[in-house]
Amino acid sequence: MPEITYREAVNQAMAEEMDRDSDTFVMGEEVAQYDGAYKVTEGLLKRFGEKRVLDTPISECGFAGLGIGAAMMGLRPIVEFMTWSFSFVAFDQIFNNAANIRYMSGGEINIPIVFRGPGNGGVNVGATHSHTPENFYANAPGLKVICPATPYDAKGMLKTAIRDNDPVLMMENTILYNNKEEVPEEEYLIPFGKADIKKEGTDLTFIAHGKAVLTCLKAAEILEAEYEVDVEVVDLRSIRPLDEETILNSVKKTSRVIIVDENKPFCGVGAQIAYIIQEKAFDYLDAPIKRVSAVDAPQIYSMPLEQVQLPNAQRIVQAATSII
């Protein structure tokens, strides 16, 4: 199997789906001539031409809405946000239009659109550019939200997203773009709502999504080596729909849970998951559910401090040792 980067995985998924369906096109800031602000769309303009790979003005509300209008008419736009932090100026289009039009039309209109791009902190760009808005968007019935952590998952899930008849929001991470993994050459699709156990274990469950999954794996290694704790790492992959079954099965197996999330804690994804666990697996718990999230303040710029603000292996290990 060839080893490809997360960036190449996303690129391949788009290219393959554009080959498959001429109604699929990509638009966003710098996606065409510039080959992508993070080079995720590299080569697509050359391959598919300017009709299907469109540079937009810096006008997120305009082009997000334009994409939704085109999707109402049956096209399958892939709209790239240079970062999800910029999606907030298009928030009304996504939250009101993409999410609600199917409902308000009594199911008459579908919105087969994908919004994607990186949404992460950890790169010292300050508060405005470091948002992880999966909790905001997953709050809206009508939207689907996915946060793949690995190249394999990114490719398989984005292909599913592009074929999906509902609006799908894929949140990537600039720090993950260079990560490599073996990915099959033959076509595969990964369904939404299916978590992946990235490491099996018996003593403690980590539940995470996006880059936090990799941080959890590091923390699991430390816990194994230094504390002989065997951790299970559940990668949600998909936030909405959510794989409750895998979460609950793991909790029932280990009886101890830490939810790790690069988002801020209040009203974050972890809050809903903690609620689900207490409701459906209360009797299996041997310790309170712990959460490790970003420190609850706007994202700090200062380099060493941002590393502390986001969940790191050390903070996760610390939380783990308090409940084992």
Partner 1 sequence: MSQTEAKEDKESHVDAFSENPINKNLTAEEKINFYRQMMEVRCFEERAVHSYQQGKIGGFCHTYNGQEAVAIGTISMMQSDDHIITAYRDHAHGLAVGMNMNECMAELYGKVTGCSKGKGGSMHFFAPDKNYWGGHAIVGGQIPLGAGIAFALKYKGTKGVCLCYMGDGAVNQGAFHEALNLAALWKLPVVFIIENNRYSMGTSEARSSSVSPLARRALAYDMGYDTGIGNSVYEVRVKTEQAMEKARSKNVPTLLEFDTYRYRGHSMSDPDKTYRTKDEIADYKNNQDPIMLFGSILIDEGIASEESLIDIKKESRKKAEASAKFADESPFPEIEDITKDVYWEEDNPEHKTSEGTMFFK
Interface residues toward partner 1, by CB under 8 A: 23, 25, 51, 54, 56-57, 59, 61-75, 89, 92-93, 96-97, 101-110, 141-142, 144, 160, 164-166, 189, 191-195, 238, 240-245, 272
CA–chain centroid gap for 217, Å, is 17
Half-sphere exposure of 221 (CA within 13 A, CB side): 8
**CA 287 vs CA 205, 273, 320: distances in Å:** 12, 16, 11
Nearest distance from C-beta of residue 57 to partner 1, angstroms:
6
d(CA 248, CA 276) in angstroms, rounded, equals 9
Phi, psi (rounded to 5 degrees) for 199: -150, 130
- Contact criterion met (CB below 8 Å) for 132 and 96: no
Least distance in Å: CB of 165 to partner 1?
4
- Catalytic: which of 8, 60, 172, 262? 60
Q: How far is the CB of 308 from partner 1 (least distance, A)?
A: 32
For partner 1, which is the closer residue by CB, 182 or 245?
Answer: 245
Verify whether residue 131 is a known catalytic residue.
Answer: no
C-beta closer to partner 1: residue 22 or 202: 22
Specify the residue, 92 or 226, whose C-beta has the smaller distance to partner 1.
Answer: 92
Q: Tell me how far apart the alpha carbons of residues 86 and 239 are, in angstroms, rounded to a whole number.
A: 20
Please report how close the Cβ of residue 42 comes to partner 1 at its closest, in angstroms. Answer: 23
Candidate list 80, 129, 172, 262, residue with the active-site label: 129
The residue (of 47 and 202) whose beta carbon lies closer to partner 1 is 47
SS3 5: strand
Q: What are the residues facing 47 on neighbouring strands?
A: none
d(CA 248, CA 25): 39
Residues with a catalytic annotation lie at 60, 129
